[in-house]
Amino acid sequence: MRAGAWRPPSPFPAPWVGTVLWLALAAFLAWNVWSLQVDPARVARGLSRIGIVFGRAFPPEFGQWSLLVEGVVESLQMATLSTALGVVLGIPIAVMAARNIVPSPVYVTGRGIITLARTFHEIIVAIIFVKAVGFGPFAGMLTLTVNSLGFFSKLLAEQVENIDRGQVEAVRATGAGRGGVLLFAVVPQVLPRIIGLTVYQWDIHLRQSTIIGIVGAGGIGTTLYNSFARYDFDFSLAILLVIVAIVLLGEAVSAVARKHID
């Protein structure tokens, strides 16, 4: 190319850096494919079985609807109670984790709790709670509550950090103490977001409640896992359809509610 010719802007400091990065990425992908160690014979056998699996799954079997309803109700209850608990516990933690309104030791503690709650996948948290309080929806509910402390509190803390300082200073100028500032300057600014986040969190918990049953923490996931274990694929498909339906419904409810609030 002619010297000085226009080149599109690039995120890399020099052209060779881009080339090296692309080559590195290609090598990384090649290594991934190479070490996946797929057994072609096993896959071929599996593919030939797809027909059998799907043949058994269709048509979906809604005959055991009482089990299905039980699972859905349990999921709904887990999601609702954990969201409520998550809000009650999550608001103080969010306040603690907002840099602009608390002293730094409190901030570090608040952030620490959030980081700890976010660290492990909900399945791993569920395993620990099942061990602690036994099988069933209560363990699942506690798992989802921990998830709230990581998600709801984190987003709420960010909202609190983004509030308008002017209102805080105005309330402080009237001689209000820390509590007064919190109640009359901070809360009114973040209240709509609290409601929006609560609905969103409920929607997320409903999704998560469909899987933590795999390790015995209750909900529709338990029903689904059992149906797979018994090769009741037609019932599994029915459950899957119901899961997709309730998740989409939950998402729609949450979207409508959030649109009304914002």
Partner 1 sequence: MGELGQGSRLMAETFTTWRRFTPAQSALRFAGRLALVVAVAWSAAGMGIRWEFIADSPAQVADLFRRMFPPDWGFTGELVSPLVQTINIATLGTVAAVLLSVPVAFLAARNTTFNRGTYALGRVMMSVSRSVDSLIWALIFTIVVGPGSLAGALALAVRSIGFVSKLFAEGIEEIDRGQVEAVTATGAGRLAVLVFGIVPQIRPVFAGVCIYRWDINIRESTVLGIVGAGGIGFVLNNAILGLEWSRVGLILVVILGVVAVSEALSATVRKRVT
Residues that bind partner 1 (CB under 8 A): 8, 11, 28-29, 32-33, 35-39, 42-43, 45-47, 49-50, 53, 73-74, 76-78, 80-81, 84, 119-121, 123-124, 127-128, 131-134, 136-138, 141, 207-208, 210-211, 214-215, 221, 224-225, 228, 233, 240, 243-244, 247-248, 251
Q: Which is nearer to partner 1, 78 or 157 (CB)?
A: 78
Where helices occur in the chain by DSSP H, the ranges are 15-36, 40-57, 65-96, 104-119, 122-133, 137-161, 165-173, 178-181, 187-208, 220-229, 233-261
| Tokens found for residue 63 | 């005959």
Q: Which of 130, 16, 136 is nearest to 71 (CA)?
A: 136
Q: Which is nearer to partner 1, 72 or 160 (CB)?
A: 72
Rg over alpha carbons for the chain, rounded to the nearest Å, is 25
Find the shortest distance in angstroms from Cβ 166 to partner 1. 23
SS3 for 61?
A: coil
Find the shortest distance in angstroms from Cβ 86 to partner 1. 12
Residue 136 region, left (φ>0) first, then alpha (ψ -120 to 50), else beta? left
d(CA 141, CA 106): 27
Q: Which is nearer to partner 1, 190 or 211 (CB)?
A: 211
Q: Which is nearer to partner 1, 171 or 239 (CB)?
A: 239
Find the shortest distance in angstroms from Cβ 211 to partner 1. 5
Find the shortest distance in angstroms from Cβ 69 to partner 1. 12
Q: Which is nearer to partner 1, 77 or 167 (CB)?
A: 77
| Tokens found for residue 116 | 């700890």
Direct distance between the N- and C-terminal alpha carbons of the chain, in angstroms, rounded to an integer: 53
Find the shortest distance in angstroms from Cβ 207 to partner 1. 7
d(CA 252, CA 203): 9
* Alpha-carbon torsion, ordered 74, 76, 78, 81, to 10 deg: -130
Q: Which is nearer to partner 1, 20 or 132 (CB)?
A: 132
Find the shortest distance in angstroms from Cβ 7 to partner 1. 12
